[in-house]
Amino acid sequence: MSESGRRAFITGISGQDGSYLAELLLARGYEVHGLIRRASTFNTRRLDSIYRDPHENAPLILHYGDLSDGVSLTNLIRDLQPHEIYHLGAQSHVRVSFDIPDYTAQTTGLGTLRILEAIRASGVQTRFYQASSSEMFGAAPPPQNERTPFHPRSPYGAAKVFAYWITVNFREAYGVFAVNGLLFNHESPRRGETFVTRKISRAVARIQAGLQDKLYLGNLDALRDWGYAPDFVLAMWMMLQQPKADDFVIATGESHTIREFLDLAFGRVGLDWHDYVEVDPRYYRPSEVDHLRGDASKAQRVLGWQPSVRFPELVALMVDADIQLLEDELAGRLVGVDRES
Ligand code: NAP
Ligand code: GDD
SS (H, E, C) 161-195: HHHHHHHHHHHHHHCCEEEEEEECCEECCCCCCCC
Cβ 240 vs Cβ 179: under 8 Å: yes
Q: What is the pLDDT of residue 341?
A: 34
The answer to whether 156 is a known catalytic residue is: yes
| CA-nearest residue, atom 21 of ligand 1 | 89
Ligand nearest to C-alpha 153:
2
Residues in contact with ligand 1 (CB, 6 Å cut-off)? 11-12, 14-18, 35, 37, 39, 43, 66-68, 88-92, 107, 131, 133, 183, 185-186, 192
Q: What DSSP letter does each residue of 141-168 carry, written as one string? A: PSSB-TTSPP---SHHHHHHHHHHHHHH
Q: Which of 30, 86, 129, 156 is catalytic?
A: 156
Which of ligand 2's atoms lies nearest the C-alpha of 183?
32
Q: What is the pLDDT of residue 337?
A: 45
Instruction: Give the chain's domains with CATH numbers.
Output: 7-192+228-253+293-308 (3.40.50.720)
Ligand nearest to C-alpha 236:
1
Q: What is the pLDDT of residue 1?
A: 53
Distance in Å, CA 224 to ligand 2 centroid: 9
Q: What is the pLDDT of residue 103?
A: 98
| CA-nearest residue, atom 16 of ligand 2 | 222
The answer to whether 135 is a known catalytic residue is: yes
Distance in Å, CA 331 to ligand 1 centroid: 31
Distance in Å, CA 339 to ligand 1 centroid: 38
Q: What is the pLDDT of residue 55?
A: 81
Our answer on whether the CB atom of 185 is closer than 6 Å to any ligand 2 atom is yes
Is the entire prediction scored with pTM above 0.95? yes
Pairing state of beta strands 223-224 and 256-257?
A: antiparallel
- pLDDT (tens, 9 = 90+) of the chain, 341 residues, equals 566 799 999 999 999 999 999 999 999 999 999 999 999 998 999 999 999 887 887 899 999 999 999 999 999 999 999 999 999 999 999 999 999 999 999 999 999 999 999 999 999 999 999 999 999 999 999 999 999 999 999 999 999 999 999 999 999 999 999 999 999 999 999 999 999 999 999 999 999 999 999 999 999 999 999 999 999 999 999 999 999 999 999 999 999 999 999 999 999 999 999 999 999 999 999 999 999 999 999 999 999 999 999 999 999 999 999 999 999 999 987 554 443 33
